[in-house]
Amino acid sequence: MPKTIKKVGVLTSGGDSPGMNAAIRSVVRTCAYHNIECIGIYRGYQGMIEGDFKEMGPRSVNNIVNKGGTVLKSARSIEFRTPEGRQKAHAHLVKAGIDALVVIGGDGTFTGGLIFNAEFDFPVMGIPGTIDNDIFGTSHTLGYDTALNTVVEVIDKIRDTASSHNRLFFVEVMGRDAGHIALNAGIGAGAEEILIPEEDLGLDRLLDSLQKSKASGKSSSIVVIAEGDKIGKNVFELKDYVEANLPEYDVRVSVLGHMQRGGSPSCFDRVLASRLGVKAVESLLEGKSNYMVGLQNDKVNLTPLEQAIKGKSEIDRELLRVSDIMST
């Protein structure tokens, strides 16, 4: 017999991403629509351990759909990794009368939810929120589309300088384990080369490509590099290597960093967050647990949390081919 859900807790954990606030808003208002209570849990699992809770209603989430970051704050909790920490968290949830959790974040957040469910048989539903788009079971994670638009806008501005001074720019974007941002933004911004963790371009091929670009008449070039690319130890060593072997290039480095995580979410991310929040709450009310809500073929579907954590988000091979053709 499914557990009756009368009060849902919602938290954000791990790295923030644009669209998290829109997802919080969706969870809160879906709870109100179904006449159940919603409790905001501040600072992720650490706030759950400390009982840092606040009741949330439809009016408490006014004017947050357009805001980046997360109004519930985010934190990484070492204590939650211990059985004692999780026991404290469970005691606070029981005391507050919370029956189920919606956790918004990445694989670390989902792993915490999965373990918590296994220990306490506590209903958990996950919403994928990370700009890296590296979660299995969804074509888009919250914040990914906004990050792409931010990166493309910045590269467009960098290209103005590159063209004016006949320079080669290495632009490093986020993506320690996945090259989705670099690949898509690189194509969208017209980059000459794109370096990602999934594909080892190799130093020789990079030099060859840059030489061909120069020979073809290109006076400036943009190379987009995912931070996890394996071609060099870091982007600055790569710059030194290229300058040593291609002295005709005036090389500059731009590391975009955390600006990619900020800003007002795109319309796509706001709509996606709204859809995922509704599905998460209604799935809990249907007695489901241990799932992640995600987007597949423009339909909101459920993926088991364990599968979302262990599965690998694959790079689009067709986009790699498109990238090669566009760099001609």
Of 99, 132, 145, 269, which is the active-site residue?
Answer: 132
Residue 40 in contact with residue 164, Cβ under 8 Å?
no
Q: Measuring CA to CA, which residue among 26, 178, 34 is closest to residue 106?
A: 178
Q: Measuring CA to CA, which residue among 148, 141, 115 is closest to residue 15?
A: 141
Q: Taking the mean position of all CA atoms in its chain, how far away is CA 304?
A: 19
Which two tokens mark 176?
């320690």
Contacts of 135 (CB under 8 A, 6+ apart): 106, 107, 110, 128, 141, 292, 294, 308, 313
Binding-site residues for ATP, in ranges, read 15, 76-77, 106-109
Binding-site residues for Mg(2+), in ranges, read 107
Residue 194 in contact with residue 182, Cβ under 8 Å?
yes
Binding-site residues, in ranges, read 15, 25-29, 76-77, 106-109, 130-132, 159, 167, 174-176, 190-192, 218-220, 227, 252, 258-261
Contacts of 147 (CB under 8 A, 6+ apart): 17, 18, 131, 174, 181, 260, 261
Q: Could you confirm whether 132 is annotated as catalytic?
A: yes
Which two tokens mark 118?
């296994």
Across the beta sheet with 193-195, the strand order is 193-195, 221-226, 167-173, 250-255
Q: At what angle do helices 267-285 and 20-33 cross, to 10 degrees?
A: 40
Task: Write the DSSP symbol of residue 292.
Answer: E
CB neighbourhood size of 96 (10 A): 17
Residue 131 in contact with residue 144, Cβ under 8 Å?
yes
Binding-site residues for substrate, in ranges, read 130-132, 167, 174-176, 227, 252, 258-261
Greatest CA separation for the chain: 72
CB neighbourhood size of 220 (10 A): 20
Catalytic residue positions, numbered: 132
